[in-house]
Amino acid sequence: MLVFLTLPLLALLLRIPLVDLLSYLLRENVRQALALSMKTTALTVLVTILFGTPIAYLLARRSFRGRTLLDTLIDLPMVLPPSVAGIALLVAFGRRGLLGQQLSMWGIELAFTQSAVVLAQVFVAAPLYIKAASTGFMGVERELEDAAALDGASAWQVFRLITLPLAWISLFSGIVTTWARALGEFGATIIFAGNFIGRTQTMPLAIYQGFEQDLNVAITLAVILLAISFGVLFLMKQLVGQRLN
């Protein structure tokens, strides 16, 4: 199993000499795809934290009617094939879409824009953060929060000084997995945001197009993506490991 999981990645690395790799890295379209991926995934993470944290907290702290339903709905984008996510986004936010029609009347058109790239990423990746953060919040003992509240701390102070520091590791690993998933997002992006170099062509789209035009470019981009993902995930695990010890 271990061989099966690592061999394809190793094959990618062995396919191209390191020197060639560096020269491809300087190419304009490679750089643009890389920059676009970094920018959009950063925005995705920001949006996810901003809007995902309250939902995660709600799921962890309140029991209400329809909680299981909400929980399941949040799981859905993670299990959907990305192409389904892309079509769904298009029929919702496209200019002929359910909400898009209204938006378009106000002069906002999302399809084929960078906003569409971010929306596609948030749609498929935010649930990962919400799940992780919610588990983190659940792990914080109620009594600690109650004690602080009893001592006169406001709800915000309890959250900021007690809940957040204790749930931090889960939140952090949720952020990283969401970011990694957003970085790899392909299917929903190509359908909803289209493919345009420098505007909506992220790394995975550039890899796909590279596969059709020049296999070496595709493999170079793939190796870069792999290196970044490995670096960030590895660093995260070290950080989390240190915290736990």
Partner 1 sequence: MVQRLGYVWSVFSLLFLSACVGSSPAISESVPTEASSGAQVQASGELTVFAAASLTAAFTEAAAQFEAQNPGTKVIFQFAGSDQMAEQILQGAPADVFASANTKQMDKVVEGGEIAHDAAEIFAHNRLVVVYPSDNPGNLNSLADLAKPDLKLVLASPSVPVGAYALTFLEKASALPEYTESYSSTVLANVVSYEDNVKSVFSKVALGEADAGIVYTTDVSPESADKVKTLEIPNELNTVASYPIAVTKRAAQPELAAAFVAYILSPEGQTILAKYGFVPAND
Enumerate binding residues for partner 1 (CB under 8 A).
7-8, 10-12, 14-15, 81-83, 86, 90-91, 94-96, 111-112, 186-187, 190-191, 193-197, 200, 208-209, 211-213, 215
Beta carbon nearer to partner 1, 179 or 186 = 186
Beta carbon nearer to partner 1, 215 or 235 = 215
Answer left, alpha or beta for residue 152, where phi above 0 means left and psi between -120 and 50 means alpha.
Answer: left
Q: What helix, strand, coil percent values describe the chain, rounded to 5?
A: 80, 0, 20
Beta carbon nearer to partner 1, 48 or 201 = 201
Shortest Cβ 149–partner 1 spacing (Å): 49
Shortest Cβ 83–partner 1 spacing (Å): 4
Shortest Cβ 4–partner 1 spacing (Å): 9
Beta carbon nearer to partner 1, 143 or 212 = 212
CB 42 within 8 A of CB 182: no
CB 203 within 8 A of CB 33: yes
Amino acid at the residue 103:
L
State phi, psi for 18 to the nearest 5 degrees: -60, -35
158: which residues sit within 8 A by CB, 6+ positions away? 145, 148, 149
Shortest Cβ 88–partner 1 spacing (Å): 13
